[in-house]
Amino acid sequence: MATQPSAATPTLERIRTRTARVGVIGLGYVGLPLAVEFARAGFDVTGFDVDSSKADQVNAARSYIPDVADADLAACVRAGKLRATADMAALGAMDAIDICVPTPLRKTKDPDLSYVVKAVEGVAATLKRGQLIILESTTYPGTTDEVVRPMLEAKGLEADVDFFLAFSPERVDPGNQQFNTKNIPKIVGGVGPASTEAAAALYGATVLHVVPVSSTRVAEMVKLLENTFRAVNIGLVNEIALMCHTMDIDVWEVIDAAKTKPFGFMPFYPGPGLGGHCIPIDPYYLSWKARQTGFECRFIELAGQINSSMPHFVVDRVAEALNAFRKSINGSRVHIIGVAYKRDVNDMRESPALDVMELLAKRGARLSYSDPYVPTLSHDGRPLASIDLDEAIAAKPDCAVICTDHAVFDYDALVNSGTLVVDTRNALKQRQGPTIFRL
């Protein structure tokens, strides 16, 4: 067994005995489930969020993230294992700190690391010998080494010797009933062997599988490969859907049959476009960084173009559907079914339904929507409230557009009502008829 640098030994010992105090910065879709998992593993956990209302809700044991059950959160809070604060000064008391803040894009599609920088400033202000710092936010290869490390080392301590620094991408899939923070293998890459070992020890005590890799860059790249793989494959299947439409072939039937091949094929599905905080954004972190080295990522750009054209295709299908009944989009009442970016979540970030709504409104449609996960949204600068789907059907809209196929929706009532439907998710499956238009 290798000799540990002296600063790592007490940290590893506290991790081993579950006496380490773990801080999680950013209590959103990623940070809150992770904080709960650390607390369930027996660590003493403090969540930090600039949004004090989130800290208040955690302390009141009220979950605002669908994947975290109130009962699980309450068990951790009542056991005194989890608390939250907006006061970053308490970071100095932590043995390990996980950073889970947003990494959006700027309008120019360049990475916006301002949240990471702000969080790291908070960590640097109280950095202590022996602390383990882990970045979880998705970002371009080199961020941990080139951005985070110098900010922390400016305090006079050396990474991998005096404190420990690693990158571990969060791979959680909100709404997934099978895979969660606990059972998704955790990739860990440190700035050196001591950092990898410390981070692997922390996650090894918390989740079921840990996969150490040789560097922070590899760990950062793993996440971007995974998300680029999805973005490109969704782009491919969206293009196949556009192609099938021109050839009058049912793309959904094609995919269902193709996926019976037991090897060499993995089904991806077309839809109204990409949404969420990962797939529409992360590949651009990679192409931005690659461009710094003179490399153009052609697949990423092409997939981005196809995926972002999908809301336009949906609106064209709505126009075709209405046209078949001698109606125009202009003046029609169009009801959107599901506006969250994907099934059974309440996340609206980058949701393609918003683009579909904007394009329909520009062509003169009068819009309403149903989404039990999204009670209100801002449309055309004004608040718009979700209405119950039965109520919407009873109001006889000119057309309904299924943008997000939440499991709670009753499509029988919709189809039986004879409403004209444009189905972008194949939610209606085998149901056929002159009033049903698929993507």
Question: Among candidates 171, 172, 166, which has minimal Cα distance to 189?
Answer: 166
Min dist CB 334 to ligand NAD, Å, is 29
Min dist CB 98 to ligand NAD, Å, is 11
Q: Which is nearer to ligand NAD, 122 or 397 (CB)?
A: 122
Say if residues 262 and 296 touch (Cβ distance below 8 Å). Answer: no
Binding site for ligand NAD (CB under 6 A): 25-31, 48-51, 54, 100-103, 115, 118-119, 137-138, 170, 172, 174, 276-278
Q: Which is nearer to ligand NAD, 38 or 313 (CB)?
A: 38
**What DSSP string describes 141-196?**
TTHIIIIIHHHHHTTTPPBTTTBEEEE------TT-SS--TTTS-EEEEESSHHHH
Residues 6+ apart with CB under 8 A from 304: 231, 235, 280, 283, 284
Q: Which two tokens stand for residue 237?
A: 């299947």
CA distance 100 to 290: 24
CA distance 89 to 239: 51
Q: In a 3-state reduction of DSSP, which class is residue 83?
A: strand
Q: Which is nearer to ligand NAD, 213 or 439 (CB)?
A: 213
Phi, psi (rounded to 5 degrees) for 21 = -95, 125
3-state helix, strand, coil in the chain (%, to 5): 40, 15, 45
Q: To which residue do tokens 């940070």 refer? A: 31
Say if residues 368 and 356 touch (Cβ distance below 8 Å). Answer: no
Q: Which is nearer to ligand NAD, 113 or 322 (CB)?
A: 113
Q: How many Å separate Cα 314 from the centre of its chain?
A: 23
Min dist CB 329 to ligand NAD, Å, is 33
Q: Which is nearer to ligand NAD, 48 or 140 (CB)?
A: 48
Min dist CB 336 to ligand NAD, Å, is 22
Min dist CB 51 to ligand NAD, Å, is 4
Min dist CB 239 to ligand NAD, Å, is 25
Assess whether 76 carries a catalytic annotation: no
Q: ∠ CA 36-41-42 to the nearest 5 degrees?
A: 100
Q: Which is nearer to ligand NAD, 9 or 176 (CB)?
A: 176
Q: Which is nearer to ligand NAD, 51 or 390 (CB)?
A: 51
CA distance 307 to 279: 10
Min dist CB 162 to ligand NAD, Å, is 24
Catalytic residue among 76, 100, 278, 399: 278
- Taking CB atoms, the residue at the shortest distance from ligand NAD is 28
CA distance 157 to 148: 13
Please list the active-site residues: 278
